[in-house]
Structure 1
Amino acid sequence: MTEHHLAVTRTARYYQLGELSAQTKQVWFVCHGYGQLAAYFSRHFAFLSEADPDTVVIAPEGLSRFYLSGNGGRVGASWMTRDDRLHEIEDHIGFLNQLAGHVLAACPADVQVTVLGFSQGTATVSRWLTRARFRPAQLILWAGSFPEDIEPATASRLLQGLELTLVIGTDDEYISVAQATQQHEQLQQLGAAATLITFDGKHELNRAILAQLVSAGSE
C-alpha cells in the first residue's frame, strides 16, 4: 500500500466584523484555538469594530471540523493534527494567504494589520506569517507558543523588529507563566520587540487585556 496526495479545491469559511472600505485603518486577523468555531471566537472582538468603524476583524476557521463529543452535538474546528500535518500546514497557509490578499485588496495601502492567534492558532499564524505577503504591525500570541520547528533564520527574518506580544493567564491549564517567560526570552534573542503580559485567568481571552492591546496598537 502506498500513500498518495491530490490537491483539490474546497470551500473555506471566515467571519468578518465591520465593513472594508477605502477608510479602513486597521484590520485584525484572529485565529481560534483547537475545537473552537470562528463564529463564536469572533464575538470576543466585536467591540473593536463597534467602537471604531474604521477597524475590521477577520476570523478564519480551521479547515477540519469534528464533533466535540461522540457522533453529534457541538462542532469544533482544528488547524491541524499530527496526522498528515505538513499538508495541513500547507493548506492553511494557502487559505490564509488567499484570504489576506482578498481582504487587503479592499483596504488602503497603509492599513495597519494586527494578527492574533489563540492557543493552537498561535502556531498557525506564526507559520503563516513566515510566508505571508504582508508584514503585520503587531503579532499577538495568546495562550500558545511560537513553533519550535521554524528554522531560526526564518524566524529571525519574521521577528526582527516585529512588535510581538505574548499573553498568558496565570492559571492557564496548558502553558505555564514560566514556559511563556522562557519563550519571551527566546523570541527577544531572535530579534522580536517582545512583551509578555499576564492576567488572572485560565486558558481564555480577556476583554481588558484585548482593549489594552487595541489602544497600544493604535498609538
Structure 2
Amino acid sequence: MQPATIITPRTARFFSLGEPGPAIQHIWICLHDHDQPVAELAAQLVNLDTPERLLILPEALSRYTLPDGSDQPASDRAMWFAPNSIADDLADSATYLQALAAQTLAACPAGTPVTVLAYGHGAVVACHWLAESTMAYQRLVLYAAVFPPLPDRRTLLAALPLRPVQVVATTADVFTPEADGPALLQDLRAAGHTARLSYTEPGPLTLAALGAGREEGGLLTSATA
C-alpha cells in the first residue's frame, strides 16, 4: 500500500492585534512556534500593539486542543509540519500565508511596509514562503529560530530575497540551538543578506528587544552588529 496525495482547500484561522484600515502605517505578519498557542505569541508582542501598527498572527493548519490538566487549562495548539511530510506541509503553509498576506495588504493603504517575524519553527515556514513569494516585504525577523534538518538551511536562506534580516536569540534556553544565533547569522551573511544579531530575555518584546530602535519607512533600524 502506497500513500497518495490530493490538494484540497483548507479553512485556516488567524488572529490580529489592530484593525486594517487607512490609519495603518506598518504591517507585521508574525508566525508562532511549533505546538505553541497563538495567544502565547500574542502576549510576547503586546508592546508592539499600537494604533499605527497591524499585527497578523496566522495559526498553523494542523490544530488540536490539549485537554484540561492539573497544571494548565485547555488550550488550542497548532503544528506547521509533521516530520514525515515537511515538504508538503511547507508548500500548503506558503499558499495559505500568501493568500492571507494579499488579503491583509488589500485592506491597508497601498505601499504599507511589511515586516515578517517568525518564532521558533515558524522560521523555516517563513523562509520557505518568502523564498517563493512576490510580496514586497521590507524585513525579516527570526526570533529564537529553529530549523529542521530538511530542507537544508543554507539552501533555503540562499533562496530568500535580499532583504534585511534581524536574528534575535534568547539568553535563557540552553536545551535547543535557539541560543546559537551566531551560526544562523553566519549562514545568512554567507548567502549575501544584510543580517544583524541581538539577544533578548524572555517576556514581552519591544522594538529594542528585536535589535531595533525604531521603524523608518517600514525598516527597523538597529545598532547591534
With the shorter chain as reference, the TM-score category is 0.7 to 0.9
Number of residue equivalences: 213
Alpha carbons 1:159, 1:191 under 8 Å: kept:
no
Check conservation: 1:64, 1:78, Cα contact below 8 A: yes
Alignment of 1:1-219 (within 5 A): 1-50=1-50, 53-68=51-66, 73-145=74-146, 149=151, 155-160=157-162, 162-172=163-173, 173-175=175-177, 177=179, 179-201=180-202, 206-207=205-206, 209-210=208-209, 213=212, 215-216=214-215, 217=219
Secondary structure, counterpart of 1:181 in structure 2: helix
Residue 213 of structure 1 aligns to a residue whose secondary structure is: coil
TM-score, length basis structure 1: 0.84
CA distance in 1, matches of 2:132, 2:145: 20
Aligned mates of 1:49, 1:171 — CA distance in 2: 25
Q: Distance in 1 between matches of 2:147 and 2:118?
A: 10
Q: More helix per residue: 1 or 2? A: 1
Deviation, structure 1 residue 213: 3.1
Unaligned residue ranges in structure 1 (runs of 5+): none
Contact persistence 1:35–1:68 (CA under 8 A): no
Task: Give the secondary-structure state (helix, strand or coil) at the position aligned to 1:16.
Answer: strand
Q: Give distance in 1, aligned partners of 2:13 and 2:58.
A: 6
Paired AA for residue 78 in structure 1: M
Report if aligned partners of 1:127, 1:150 keep a CA contact under 8 Å in 2: no
How many angstroms apart in 1 are the aligned matches of 2:108 and 2:207?
Answer: 28
Q: Distance in 2 between matches of 1:218 and 1:181?
A: 20
Q: List per-residue Cα deviations over 1:168-203 (Å, max 9, x = no partner).
A: 1123231254x32122112112111100111345xx
State the distance in 2 between where 1:80 and 1:11 align: 16
Which range is displaced more, 117-126 or 17-26? 17-26
Q: Distance in 2 between matches of 1:119 and 1:33?
A: 5
Whether the aligned pair in 1 keeps the contact of 2:18 and 2:54 (CA below 8 Å) is yes
Given the superposition, is the C-alpha separation of residues 67 and 8 from structure 1 closer, same or farther in structure 2, using an over 3 Å criterion? same
The offset of 1:86, in angstroms, is 1.6
Deviates more, 1:139-148 or 1:99-108: 139-148
Compute the displacement of 1:108 (Å): 2.3
Give TM-score, length-normalised by structure 2: 0.82
Q: Name the Cα RMSD after superposition.
A: 2.7
| Corresponding residue SS for 1:6 | coil
Distance in 2 separating the partners of 1:207 and 1:55: 13
Q: Deviations over 1:107-160 (max 9, x none)?
A: 222211000000011111111101122132110001114676358676335242
Secondary structure of 2:45 counterpart: helix
Q: Structure 2: how far apart are the matches of 1:27 and 1:195?
A: 21
Name the SS for the 1:8 alignment partner. Answer: coil
Q: CA deviation at 1:96?
A: 0.2
- Between the aligned partners of 2:205 and 2:115, the Cα distance in structure 1 is 17
Q: Percent identity?
A: 25
Contact 1:126 1:146 in 2 (8 A): no
Q: Secondary structure at the match of 1:47?
A: helix
